[in-house]
Structure 1
Amino acid sequence: MRAHQFIRRGILLLLPMVLGACATMQEPAGPADNAQLTAPTGITRDLLAMPAPKGRVVAAVYGFRDQTGQYKPSPDSSFSTLVTQGAASMLVKALKDSGWFMPVERENLQNLLTERKIVRALETPQDKAVVNLPALVPATILIEGGIVAYETNVKTGGAGARYLGIGVKNQYRVDQVTVSLRTVDTRSGQILNSVSTTKTIYSYELSTGVFRFVNFKELLELEGGYTRNEPSQLCVQEAIEAAVAHLIVQGLKDRVWALRDEADWHSPVLQAYLRQSEAYLGQGGQVAEPAAPAPAPGS
């Protein structure tokens, strides 16, 4: 009888703390904060830290499609896709952030051509000497590719324990998204470089609960927990940025384009990506400098 009273008193003492924790978790911190710029990833910082090129390469992106063909499982939606449909915008931003490419508008080219027609249609004979639209800039390379895979439940697991109706449980799930990117020479149609990057998407859940009778007809039940899911669109963005960084480094290695200062070849950012490339190819040791320079787009 004394043991029962002790357990009951202990649960009643824990009740305010559990309820307070649950009340705290019901509303996230800062729900009314103003919109901010998307937080940069580690790969974004690498792109911004890339050494300067000898000349920026004019690049065109006609589309960067979702090639996975996967939709969210029911009952969420039968028409909502698992990955973002705005990957082309992410790719253009990554190209611009790197400082190595000069993206030109191609995805909505018809809108641009329509506006140019409107400007010409509104011209008067007096304006023609003033309003002179320059020619559109042709692209030196095409950036092609897409989101080629999105795998769910690549790895799952968890652990839990319950004693006298009091328990705790945690679970995790790992998904992964794969992006493929290639550069194409517009003069010859030759594929200059091709790269594929993969980013894991981590989801985590922690929950705790109390379920027991505190008296013959009195049932106590308490629950609390939280989940953390990496935003899939940010993981797609990071995979795209990593692909752009590897394309830059591969192009330097193959002398497709060149550095403004050849001494920047030994910069930590370039060497880090070169080591990753060498590890992928199974080649260890010191990363050699590129061969003799050859004509390159943008150089």
Structure 2
Amino acid sequence: MSACALPWRPERPRLYLVALAALSLTACALQKPAEVSNEAQLTPATPSTIDLMQLPPPKQKIVVAVYGFRDQTGQYKPSPDSSFSTAVTQGAASMLMKALKDSGWYIPVEREGLQSLLTERRVLRAVENPRNGGQKDAVPNLLPAAVIMEGGIIAYESNTRTGGLGARFLGIGASTKYSVDQVTINLRAVNVSSGAILNSISTTKTIFSYEIHPSYFRFVNYYDLLEIEGGYTRNEPAQLAVKEAIDAAVAHLTVQGIKNNQWRLKNPDDWNSPLIQRYLDAEKDYTLTTTPRPVEASDDTGPDKDGSRPAAL
């Protein structure tokens, strides 16, 4: 018998049972968590991303520029996180560029890294092409944008709604807690020729987090207490919420442009597609919650299918 082994005694069966249960629980707790070493994959598509990729094709793609889409909230993560960590992502401009590209309606041109692009173009002009007798290659002009996309993340509200529920009976219980955050972005399209704001959209996405905490307390005898606890927490990534809000804003902005005859569908019959009608219904629901204003005679009710009236772009 080893020195660390306890001799068996009839009065200690519960003690051995408790020790065996504790060792089993410890072994389970020390197991490697699942899904922590998966390989990198594409960012999951949000429902708004799927809508963007299913938009009907345009008659002509629109060249757009994004100079910046910044965090305008001024919010930082709460303690104990670093006081220099912002509550929302600082890469919203990249998300916007991808959303514009995924929609199939826009041709995004590089403007955020314009200085690097101009530097590289100067390098190209300085390179001589031997096949042209020492003449320098002609670098084509940059593609000018017809529309500038402006805006940013304008609000981030934490714990807009919190709550929880718990119950315990005979030492067996469970509790749950949840909290809801909210992020809001604004996106507007500016006509480069006139500087007029063609459309302006604000979208809001909630960020849902919850925690489930089961527990078990039981006296195995007069002096020994068995305690088992567990927990599961689910926090929705804030960057995915920002991405979905941006994707939804691009989709709404595109549908509004079609409605206001600012850009056209390749097939005018696509105006009656379920996807476009769903976004139009969402806009109607929004206007019903606001004070109605008189409709002017020049207001557009939809795209011109006969092409008799020129579009703004």
- Whether TM-score is above 0.5 comes out as yes
Distance 1:223 1:142, change over 3 A: same
Q: Which deviates more from structure 2 when the two are superposed, residues 73-82 or residues 163-172? A: 163-172
Distance 1:199 1:127, change over 3 A: farther
Question: Does the residue aligned with 1:255 lie in a helix, a strand or coil?
Answer: coil
| Aligned counterpart, 1:227 | 233
What is the deviation of 1:163?
2.2
- Pick the aligned partner of 2:250 from 244, 253, 257: 244
Q: Which deviates more from structure 2 when the two are superposed, residues 49-58 or residues 202-211? A: 202-211
What is the deviation of 1:203?
0.4
Gaps of 5+ in 1: 1-7
Question: Does the residue aligned with 1:181 lie in a helix, a strand or coil?
Answer: strand
Are residue 171 (structure 1) and residue 187 (structure 2) matched? no
One-letter amino acid matched to 1:250:
Q
Which structure has more relative contact order (CA 8 Å, sep 6+)? It is 1
What is the deviation of 1:288?
5.5
- Pick the aligned partner of 1:183 from 180, 189, 194: 189
What is the deviation of 1:211?
2.8
| Aligned counterpart, 1:136 | 142
Are residue 88 (structure 1) and residue 99 (structure 2) matched? no
Gaps of 5+ in 2: 1-13, 290-299
Are residue 290 (structure 1) and residue 296 (structure 2) matched? no
One-letter amino acid matched to 2:175:
K
One-letter amino acid matched to 1:140:
A
Distance 1:92 1:174, change over 3 A: same
Question: Does the residue aligned with 1:215 lie in a helix, a strand or coil?
Answer: coil
One-letter amino acid matched to 1:244:
V
| Aligned counterpart, 2:224 | 218
One-letter amino acid matched to 1:63:
G
Tell me if the contact between 2:70 and 2:152 (Cα under 8 Å) persists in the aligned partners.
yes
Q: Deviations over 1:44-64 (max 9, x none)?
A: 111010001010000000000
Distance 1:147 1:25, change over 3 A: farther
Q: Deviations over 1:122-171 (max 9, x none)?
A: 33674665622110011100000000001111111110012233211011
Are residue 39 (structure 1) and residue 55 (structure 2) matched? no
Tell me if the contact between 1:25 and 1:226 (Cα under 8 Å) persists in the aligned partners.
no
| Aligned counterpart, 2:268 | 262
Q: Deviations over 1:248-298 (max 9, x none)?
A: 000011111011110010111111101101111119xxx95335643332x
Tell me if the contact between 1:258 and 1:296 (Cα under 8 Å) persists in the aligned partners.
no
Q: Which deviates more from structure 2 when the two are superposed, residues 94-103 or residues 154-163? A: 154-163
Tell me if the contact between 2:70 and 2:93 (Cα under 8 Å) persists in the aligned partners.
yes
| Cα RMSD, aligned residues only | 2.6
Are residue 109 (structure 1) and residue 143 (structure 2) matched? no
Q: Which deviates more from structure 2 when the two are superposed, residues 70-79 or residues 96-105? A: 70-79
Are residue 201 (structure 1) and residue 207 (structure 2) matched? yes
Q: Which deviates more from structure 2 when the two are superposed, residues 104-113 or residues 121-130? A: 121-130
CA–CA separation in structure 1 for the residues paired with 2:30 and 2:233:
10
One-letter amino acid matched to 1:202:
F
Are residue 19 (structure 1) and residue 51 (structure 2) matched? no
Question: Does the residue aligned with 1:59 lie in a helix, a strand or coil?
Answer: strand
Question: Does the residue aligned with 1:281 lie in a helix, a strand or coil?
Answer: helix
CA–CA separation in structure 1 for the residues paired with 2:42 and 2:111:
25
- Pick the aligned partner of 1:145 from 147, 151, 158: 151
Distance 1:127 1:259, change over 3 A: farther
CA–CA separation in structure 2 for the residues paired with 1:84 and 1:111:
23
CA–CA separation in structure 2 for the residues paired with 1:293 and 1:50:
23
CA–CA separation in structure 2 for the residues paired with 1:154 and 1:165:
33
CA–CA separation in structure 1 for the residues paired with 2:239 and 2:193:
34
Distance 1:127 1:134, change over 3 A: farther
One-letter amino acid matched to 2:79:
S
Distance 1:188 1:226, change over 3 A: same
